[in-house]
Structure formats: structure tokens, C-alpha cells
């Protein structure tokens, strides 16, 4: 009798346990396939630790996790490797949500994450025939249509900071790390046939190259890298044709097809390869190899300016003292122009990681390298290799490194203020002996000054007597006295020097209304762009303006004037050479061509251009209006850093002036309406021109193109129409990959439309434009523009475009017509 009761009790317990396991509780059951119409939040799936989708093998899961171990109220939507608890993909990296915010896989086939009333992330697959979402055993999150072998969307093509076995990492994609304590991120990408790691400073700095890693096994010589895949126990790297170029062996022994490897780019800048299957639960995977090998080869193992020694020991340079501070905050600001700077020499053996991966700034001697840094306000450090003559200058510095061994002829200097950290590092004498020397030098200098003053008075008297009998020549003498009065004027070259540098002006880079630009090379090996002004009159006026303006200002987004020639009738300007030429070459293509620049590069160029103009308008001693902003005058260096060029049409304004009347100048298509009506102009005219350029960057087309059809021919009118229809995304270049969670797209379009308002009082300042593009200020919806006014302006522009090309001068004499002259900036 007791046995059956016990048996029944055990049987009841088994049935109850089975029911608790199999009966779903609400909607929180883990799924292997998500159907259309699915909706869920972290709150709904709290019983499953926030996960709602698993792979068939149960090794990978898709769902919500807490943002950080300390922030348990914010969540990320992720794919994780469950045994090691390694996050391998994130939908909303850097943009966490709350526990009640929902993930949707709606009836149209679009998957998206919504926080309050805004879309945080989306796959943009609406209306493409999606039927389900699955998480494959490889860790690849896919949206499938009628053909399961061809996903409509997959996370493997949109990596965040991790790559998995079998995942192809190709040219055009990028890994980006989380930010470190200094808010610095790192990235991995394939460009120009090589794979590199970069520190994402304002001007990126590479710190590792696959071609230079001696651990790779070379399978094919002379090939350009196009893609890389983690296969079995190695990282295989292929060319565009699929041929194996190199291998990086990650695990010794026989290859294992079932192994799961992960390449994770950490916020320390290290790319770590991990075997996810060899770890204990929650162990994060065991690391098998790291890139770079030495942590001191990463950009910021210590704080900026600290020296990293083997074993990651950090020490401040002796020249900076205990606070390890150069006392330099904004080296190119107007307030810094009154501060004295010097170069402090670092200890022997101190180097900088980026010098192995960037091209030298110049080939020169140590003195020339120092001068190059001191003459550039944005330069914060310089490194000189005496054995090769290579000079490297940097405007942003991470950690320094000390590798030990023989430093040879290698010299390192950092820029400090006159009172900072132990002086210039050049060595100084102290005590009474130094004072006696100083007094002696002062006496000699005063005596010499008196002699020179006496000679100068005699020369002036002789010159006055000669000027009575001999008429003064107009031209060069007038320019000489003008140029001699400019403080901080660039290097004066002789005509013969520039003739030799350009090989007798043999290689032409561009042609403009006032001159031709030629490629040149100085004796120190640095390349320059020489603008040879052809003619006098306005050409001479152009010359004076450019030398006085460009020579007195320095900014990372403004082309630097290296020197000039004012000899006899010759007028030449020597600029820094910009390897990638002007912006128009990179954004104006036929609609069937693949775009040369992705959206991120275009946005960085637009932001850099805005920063350069903001500096001209607000941070210079005198307000400077450029007057000719156009894509041809936005130049790109070898890293596609944008620099505004060609200040020849600029006009200085004092801060008390708000407007200035001047002769009509600039390039049609980019001129504000006040130019056409002969109204007073201000820096807001540059804002209008910038807005036109920004629209062209966004749309990848010219602002007037009859080939686009009647509706789209005048791009600004079309953009305002789409604004009224609430379809701003249709203004975006359809050839570019669009990411709905990228708020920069809509922000940039709205900023452009604010800039081209006909009422100049509605246009924002360039400083405000920079803030809006950087996300530091809200971008409200811009008002529509007067259609009558825009039609009038478009018709004027169109009629003038029909009259002639942009390479020659207009036949119209009236200032009411736009000049057809398109000046050529340095290329």
C-alpha cells in the first residue's frame, strides 16, 4: 500500500517538472526562428536573461544585456557566444536603451530597435520579401527571404568590434572598438591593398600593418589584399580574385574545422584572437595571439606624452616635470599667438609608434625638421631620423615608447610653452657666467643696431634724392615693401629656385583664371604645389591677398602656404602638396559608377571644411571671408583630410564691420543671392556657398545638372521639395549604403538647407554649423525657401550656365552677372 503512494508521488513530481519546462510563460520562450510581427523587450524576456533567439546548437543567443557591469538600467541588443559569454555583435553600440524599449521584426520584414519614439537601429529590409529571422550556428544573424541560401541582411556584413570563424572581412568594412578612458577609439580596415589598425585621432594615425607583420606566411608575392577570413586555425588573407596571399597561424597543430575563433578589437587598441571553445563558462575565451605583440606599440597604453617601457611601465619624460603637462591647450587659437613655444628634447631611445607607418613630412636635416614644427601652430611633436633624413610631425600625440638599444641618429622633440617643463631642451647655461655672457651680447647688439640705424638713415637720404630725379617703378618695388611689412611671412623663394623645383614648370596640376598650378619638389624632398600667377592687375591683387592672409594663419583644415616668390614681374605661391587633389574629383561621377568615397569619409570632409571656415570667420585676428567656396577649393591630403584652399578672393574684415561691399567675385552656382542683387555681403555668404557644397557631398552630384531631369535638375529646389514632403532621405546619394541609425545623414541634409536660406539672417554661423554636425547642438527642421526666389536664382544660374563653360571669363561687363572664372587652388 505504501509503495504505490510513493510511486504516484514521484510520478506526479516528474510530470509537474516536465510541464514547467515545456509550457511557455507568456511570450518569453526562447525561439530558433523569429516570424514576421515579432515584438519584444528586455522586460518580456527577463526569465531568459533577456534573450529571445538562439541558434540550433544553442551556442549563440540574440537578445538584451546590460550596458556595463556598473550600469544595470541600460541595455544593448547583442549576439553573444553563450559558453564564454563573449559579445560578438552589437546593434546599438554606443546608444543603450531602457528595459521597456522594444525590438521589432514587423510585418513588412524590417527589423529595428525603437527607443521612445525614435529608431535606434534598423536593417532597412522593409518590402524586400523577408519571411523570417534566424541565428545561424556560425553566430551570423540573418534575415531570410524565399531563398534561404541568400540572406537579405546578415550581421556578418555589418561587424562592430568582433569577427568570427567563417566571417569575411572585406575592403569597405571596418571594425571599430569601444572608446577608452580618453574617449579614443580604434579601427581596423583594409585600404590600398593592406590591412591596418588606426587610432581615431582627429587625423587618424596607423599603428600596425599586415604587410609589416613578420609573423605572416607569404603564399603569393605582389598582390593587393582585398579580404580576410578566419578559417580553422589561421587567418587567411586573399586578393580580389580570391587567391591566398598570406596566412597568420593562430593555433599550432592540426586544423580543426569545428573550432570557433574570434578576433576582438579591444578598447586598448589590441586585436586579440580568442578560441571561444577552450574557455570556461564566462571566461571570455582564451587568447591565442595579439596584434600588436607589444602593448607599447599601441597608441595609448599610458596617457599622452608618457613613455611606455617594456612590460607597460609608464613614466613621464624628465623635460615635463612631475605634472607631465606641456601647458598647450589650443595651439592655433588667437590667444596662443601671444604665447612663446619651444621644442623640448626627449631622452635618447624615445620614439613614436606612428613613424613606422606614415610617410615622412619632409626629408631634411634636424634644423629643417625643427623649423617645420615651429612654423606650424598645430604641430605638437616632431621626430627626426638622422640616418634617412626623414622628418615626422604630428598634431596629436598618444603615448611615446622606449624600445631600448642603440637609438643612433634618432631625435625626438615635443612642443612646450616657454615656461613649461624644463625649457627647450636645447641646453642652457646658468649662474653668473650666463649673466656675463648675456650682458656682453646685449652691448654688441645695441652697438650693431646703432650702426645699422645710421646706415639706414643714409640710405633713406640717398633714396629720396634719387626718387626726385628718377620716377619709381610700379610693380615689384611696391610689392617688396608690402611684403616686408608682413609679420610671420612665409619663406621667400627666388624665381630660379621654384623653376628648378618644378623642373621648369613641366608637370601641370591645374589651370585657373589667374594662374596655373605645377607640381614641385624642394631640396629637402618635400613636394609642393606652385601657383604661377599669369598677369598683373587683379592677379597682383590676388597675390597680395593670398600672401598676407594665408601666411599669417595656420589651421589643420586650411592649406598651408610654404612660401612665395616676388621677383621682378614674377608672382608665385608655393603651397603644401595635397596628394588626393580637389574634392570634385571624388564626388562628381556618372550615376552608374561605384562611388569613390563612402559616407563616413564624405561626412569627415564636410566637417573638416566647416571647421576651416569657422576658423577664418571667428578665430583669426581679422575676420576673413573666403568668397569662393566650391569643391575645387576643398583639397584632400593622402588621408582624405579636408583643407580649404585658395584665399585669393578673400577680403579681410575688421570685427567692427558686419558687411562689406566689394566687386562681384567667386564661382557661379555657389554664390549667395545677395551677390546677384549687388547687396552687401558678409561671412554668411560663405555659409551659403558651404551649404551648396555640403548638398553636393550628400547627393554626389552637382547642384545644377540638366541630365537629372526637370524635377531634379536644380538640386537645392529638389531638396527643399523633399523637405516639404518629409522625404529627406531621398536627397542622399542612392549609391551609398544607408544606415537608418546613422543620425548624421539627416542632420547633414538639414544643416545644408539651413545654410542655403535666402534670408541671410536665418543662416547659422560656421561655428554653429560645426556644432550641429558634431552632434553638440540640435538641428531643428529648416524652413522652406521662397519658391519664387529659388526659381529666379535657378533660372539666372541656368541661363549663365548655357552661356559658356566655367573655365573662361564671362562676356558680361555688369557686376549683376556672375563671373565665369573658376580659380584653381593648389592640387
Backbone angles phi, psi at 26, to 5 degrees: 70, -130
Is 370 annotated as contributing to ligand binding?
no
- How far apart are the C-alpha atoms of 86 and 331, rounded to whole Å? 43
Under 8 Å CB-to-CB from 47, ≥6 apart: which residues? Answer: 25, 28
Inform me whether the pLDDT recorded for 357 exceeds 80: yes
Q: What is the reported pLDDT for 661?
A: 42
Residues forming beta bridges with residue 55, ordered by sequence position: none
User: What average pLDDT does this structure show over 492-520?
Assistant: 86
Residues forming beta bridges with residue 335, ordered by sequence position: none
Half-sphere exposure of 342 (CA within 13 A, CB side): 15
Inform me whether the pLDDT recorded for 817 exceeds 50: no
- How far apart are the C-alpha atoms of 597 and 172, rounded to whole Å? 10
Q: What is the reported pLDDT for 137?
A: 94
User: What average pLDDT does this structure show over 762-781?
Assistant: 92
User: What average pLDDT does this structure show over 175-200?
Assistant: 92
Q: Do residues 575 and 562 make contact, with C-beta atoms less than 8 angstroms apart?
A: yes
Domain 584-656+663-803, CATH: 1.10.510.10
Inform me whether the pLDDT recorded for 657 exceeds 60: no
Question: Strand 162-164 relative to strand 261-265: parallel, antiparallel, unpaired?
Answer: antiparallel
Inform me whether the pLDDT recorded for 3 exceeds 50: no
Of 514-528, 606-620, 665-679, 693-707, the poorest mean pLDDT is in 665-679
Inform me whether the pLDDT recorded for 8 exceeds 70: no
- How far apart are the C-alpha atoms of 233 and 278, rounded to whole Å? 13
User: What average pLDDT does this structure show over 277-284?
Assistant: 55
Q: What is the reported pLDDT for 516?
A: 84
| Residue of 132, 138, 157 lying closest to 60 (CA atoms) | 138
Inform me whether the pLDDT recorded for 21 exceeds 70: no
Of 4-13, 91-100, 161-170, 459-468, the poorest mean pLDDT is in 4-13
- Look at the chain and count its residues: 827
> Of the spans 122-131, 250-259, 618-627, 653-662, which averages the highest pLDDT?
122-131
Specify whether 740 is catalytic.
Answer: no
Domain ranges across the chain: 27-158, 307-417, 502-576, 584-656+663-803
Half-sphere exposure of 384 (CA within 13 A, CB side): 20
Give the pLDDT confidence of 425-474 residue by residue, as tens digits. Answer: 333 333 333 444 556 677 777 888 887 887 877 777 666 655 444 333 44
The mean of the pLDDT values for the chain is: 79
Q: State the pTM of this model.
A: 0.54
- Could you give the 3-state DSSP secondary structure of residue 724? helix
- Could you give the 3-state DSSP secondary structure of residue 646? coil
Region of 388 on the Ramachandran plot (φ > 0 left; ψ -120 to 50 alpha; else beta)? alpha
Domain 27-158, CATH: 2.90.10.10
Q: What is the reported pLDDT for 138?
A: 94
Of 43-47, 466-470, 819-823, the poorest mean pLDDT is in 819-823
pLDDT category, 267, cuts 50, 70, 90? very high
Q: Do residues 722 and 735 make contact, with C-beta atoms less than 8 angstroms apart?
A: no
Fold identical between 27-158 and 502-576? no
Domain 307-417 has CATH 3.50.4: yes
- How far apart are the C-alpha atoms of 696 and 673, rounded to whole Å? 18
Of 289-298, 517-526, 607-616, 796-805, the poorest mean pLDDT is in 796-805
pLDDT category, 763, cuts 50, 70, 90? very high
Q: Do residues 234 and 248 make contact, with C-beta atoms less than 8 angstroms apart?
A: yes
Q: Do residues 297 and 352 make contact, with C-beta atoms less than 8 angstroms apart?
A: no
Q: What is the reported pLDDT for 170?
A: 94
Please return the burial class of 646, using the count of CB atoms within 10 Å of its CB with bins 0-12, 13-18 and 19+.
buried
Of 300-309, 373-382, 513-522, the poorest mean pLDDT is in 513-522
Q: What is the reported pLDDT for 227?
A: 95
In this prediction, what percent of the chain has a pLDDT beyond 90? Answer: 37
User: DSSP character for 616?
Assistant: I
Output helix, strand, coil percentages for the chain, rounded to the nearest 5.
30, 25, 45
- How far apart are the C-alpha atoms of 753 and 690, rounded to whole Å? 11
Please return the burial class of 618, using the count of CB atoms within 10 Å of its CB with bins 0-12, 13-18 and 19+.
middle
Q: What is the CA radius of gyration of the chain?
A: 32
Of 175-189, 320-334, 662-676, the poorest mean pLDDT is in 662-676
Under 8 Å CB-to-CB from 729, ≥6 apart: which residues? Answer: 738, 745, 746
- How far apart are the C-alpha atoms of 698 and 319, rounded to whole Å? 47
Give the pLDDT confidence of 563-585 residue by residue, as tens digits. Answer: 888 787 788 888 889 988 899 88
Inform me whether the pLDDT recorded for 322 exceeds 90: no
Of the candidates 101, 161, 297, 628, the residue annotated as catalytic is 628
User: What average pLDDT does this structure show over 17-33?
Assistant: 54
Give the pLDDT confidence of 194-236 residue by residue, as tens digits. Answer: 999 999 998 899 999 998 888 888 888 788 899 999 988 889 9
Give the pLDDT confidence of 31-43 residue by residue, as tens digits. Answer: 999 999 999 998 8
- How far apart are the C-alpha atoms of 320 and 314, rounded to whole Å? 14
Q: Do residues 163 and 263 make contact, with C-beta atoms less than 8 angstroms apart?
A: yes
User: DSSP character for 419?
Assistant: T
Q: What is the reported pLDDT for 425?
A: 37
**Number of other CB atoms surrounding residue 708 within 10 Å:** 16
User: What average pLDDT does this structure show over 394-402?
Assistant: 91
Of 13-27, 135-149, 518-532, the poorest mean pLDDT is in 13-27
In this prediction, what percent of the chain has a pLDDT beyond 70? Answer: 76
Q: Grid coordinates 619624460 are at which residue? A: 317
Q: What is the reported pLDDT for 24?
A: 35
Q: What is the reported pLDDT for 9?
A: 43
H or E element, residue 278: none
Domain 502-576, CATH: 3.30.200.20
- Could you give the 3-state DSSP secondary structure of residue 530? strand
Exposure letters 728-762 (e unless 16+ CB within 10 A, then b): beebbbeebeebbbeebbbbbbbbbbbbbbbebee
**How many Å from the N-terminal Cα to the C-terminal Cα in the chain?**
101
Amino acid at each position: 500500500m505504501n509503495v504505490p503512494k510513493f510511486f504516484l508521488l514521484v510520478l506526479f513530481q516528474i510530470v509537474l517538472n516536465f510541464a514547467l519546462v515545456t509550457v511557455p510563460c507568456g511570450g518569453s520562450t526562447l525561439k530558433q526562428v523569429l516570424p514576421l510581427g515579432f515584438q519584444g523587450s528586455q522586460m518580456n524576456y527577463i526569465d531568459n536573461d533577456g534573450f529571445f533567439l538562439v541558434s540550433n546548437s544553442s551556442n549563440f543567443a540574440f537578445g538584451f544585456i546590460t550596458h556595463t557591469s556598473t550600469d544595470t538600467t541600460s541595455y544593448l541588443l547583442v549576439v553573444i557566444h553563450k559558453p564564454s559569454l563573449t559579445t560578438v555583435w552589437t546593434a546599438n553600440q554606443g546608444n543603450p536603451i531602457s528595459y521597456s524599449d522594444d525590438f521589432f521584426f514587423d510585418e513588412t520584414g524590417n527589423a529595428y530597435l525603437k527607443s521612445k519614439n525614435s529608431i535606434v537601429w534598423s536593417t532597412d529590409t522593409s518590402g524586400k520579401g523577408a519571411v523570417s529571422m534566424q541565428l545561424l550556428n556560425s553566430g551570423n544573424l540573418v534575415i531570410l527571404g524565399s531563398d534561404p541560401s541568400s540572406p537579405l541582411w546578415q550581421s556578418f556584413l555589418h561587424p562592430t568590434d568582433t569577427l568570427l570563424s567563417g566571417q569575411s572581412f572585406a575592403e569597405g568594412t571596418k571594425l571599430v572598438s569601444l572608446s577608452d578612458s580618453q574617449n579614443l577609439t580604434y579601427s581596423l580596415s583594409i585600404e590600398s591593398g593592406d590591412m591596418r589598425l588606426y587610432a581615431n585621432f582627429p587625423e587618424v594615425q596607423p599603428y600596425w600593418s599586415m604587410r609589416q607583420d613578420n609573423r605572416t606566411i607569404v603564399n603569393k608575392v605582389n598582390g593587393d589584399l582585398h579580404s580576410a577570413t578566419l578559417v580553422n586555425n589561421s587567418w587567411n588573407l586573399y586578393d580580389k580574385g580570391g587567391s591566398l596571399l598570406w596566412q597568420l597561424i593562430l593555433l599550432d597543430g592540426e586544423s580543426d574545422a569545428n573550432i570557433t575563433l574570434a578576433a576582438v578589437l579591444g578598447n586598448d587598441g589590441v586585436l586579440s584572437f580568442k578560441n571561444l571553445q577552450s574557455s570556461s563558462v564566462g571566461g571570455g575565451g582564451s587568447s591565442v595571439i595579439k596584434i600588436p605583440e607589444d602593448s607599447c606599440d599601441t597608441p595609448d597604453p599610458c596617457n599622452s606624452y608618457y613613455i611606455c617601457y617594456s612590460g607597460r611601465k609608464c613614466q613621464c619624460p624628465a623635460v615635463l616635470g612631475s605634472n607631465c603637462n606641456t601647458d598647450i591647450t589650443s595651439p592655433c587659437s588667437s590667444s596662443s599667438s601671444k604665447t612663446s613655444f619651444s621644442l623640448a628634447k626627449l631622452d635618447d631611445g624615445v620614439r613614436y609608434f606612428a613613424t613606422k607607418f606614415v610617410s615622412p613630412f619632409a626629408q631634411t636635416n634636424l634644423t629643417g625638421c625643427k623649423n617645420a614644427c615651429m612654423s606650424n601652430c598645430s604641430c605638437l611633436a616632431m621626430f627626426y631620423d638622422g640616418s634617412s633624413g626623414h622628418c615626422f610631425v604630428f598634431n596629436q600625440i598618444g603615448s611615446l615608447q622606449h624600445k631600448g638599444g642603440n637609438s643612433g641618429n634618432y631625435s625626438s622633440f615635443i612642443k612646450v610653452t616657454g615656461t613649461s617643463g624644463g625649457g627647450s631642451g636645447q641646453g642652457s647655461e646658468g649662474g653668473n657666467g650666463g649673466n656675463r655672457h648675456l650682458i656682453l651680447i646685449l652691448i654688441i647688439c645695441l652697438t650693431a643696431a646703432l650702426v645699422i640705424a645710421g646706415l639706414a638713415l643714409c640710405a633713406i637720404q640717398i633714396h629720396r634724392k634719387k626718387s626726385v630725379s628718377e620716377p619709381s617703378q610700379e610693380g615689384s618695388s611696391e610689392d617688396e615693401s608690402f611684403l616686408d611689412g608682413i609679420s610671420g611671412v612665409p619663406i621667400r623663394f627666388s624665381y630660379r629656385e621654384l623653376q628648378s623645383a618644378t623642373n621648369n614648370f613641366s608637370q601641370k596640376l591645374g589651370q585657373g583664371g589667374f594662374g596655373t598650378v605645377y607640381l614641385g619638389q624642394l631640396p629637402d624632398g618635400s613636394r609642393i604645389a606652385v601657383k604661377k600667377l599669369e598677369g598683373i592687375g587683379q592677379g597682383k591683387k590676388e597675390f597680395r591677398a593670398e600672401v598676407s592672409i594665408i601666411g599669417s594663419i595656420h589651421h589643420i583644415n586650411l592649406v598651408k602656404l610654404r612660401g612665395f616668390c616676388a621677383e621682378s614681374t614674377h608672382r608665385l605661391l608655393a603651397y603644401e602638396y595635397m596628394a588626393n587633389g580637389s574634392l570634385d574629383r571624388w564626388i562628381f561621377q556618372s550615376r552608374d559608377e561605384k562611388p569613390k568615397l563612402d559616407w563616413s569619409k564624405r561626412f569627415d570632409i564636410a566637417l573638416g571644411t566647416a571647421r576651416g571656415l569657422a576658423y577664418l570667420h571667428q578665430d583669426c585676428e581679422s575676420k576673413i571671408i573666403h568668397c569662393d567656396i566650391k569643391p575645387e577649393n576643398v583639397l584632400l591630403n593622402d588621408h582624405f583630410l579636408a583643407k580649404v584652399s585658395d584665399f585669393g578672393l578673400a577680403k579681410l574684415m575688421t570685427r567692427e564691420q558686419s558687411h562689406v561691399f566689394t566687386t562681384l567675385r567667386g564661382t557661379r552656382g555657389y554664390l549667395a543671392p545677395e551677390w546677384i542683387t549687388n547687396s552687401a555681403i558678409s561671412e554668411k555668404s560663405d555659409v551659403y556657398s558651404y551649404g551648396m557644397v555640403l548638398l553636393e557631398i550628400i547627393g554626389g552630384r552637382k547642384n545644377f545638372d540638366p541630365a537629372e531631369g526637370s524635377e531634379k535638375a536644380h538640386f537645392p529646389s529638389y531638396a527643399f521639395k523633399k523637405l516639404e514632403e518629409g522625404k529627406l532621405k531621398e536627397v542622399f546619394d542612392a549609391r551609398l549604403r544607408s544606415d537608418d541609425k546613422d543620425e548624421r545623414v539627416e542632420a547633414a541634409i538639414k544643416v545644408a538647407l539651413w545654410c542655403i536660406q535666402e534670408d541671410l539672417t536665418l543662416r547659422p554661423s560656421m561655428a554653429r554649423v560645426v556644432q550641429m554636425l558634431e552632434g553638440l547642438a540640435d538641428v531643428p527642421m529648416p524652413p522652406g525657401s521662397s519658391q519664387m526666389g529659388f526659381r529666379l536664382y535657378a533660372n539666372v544660374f541656368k541661363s549663365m550656365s548655357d552661356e559658356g563653360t566655367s573655365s573662361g571669363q564671362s562676356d558680361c561687363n555688369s557686376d549683376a552677372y556672375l563671373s565665369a572664372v573658376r580659380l584653381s587652388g593648389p592640387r
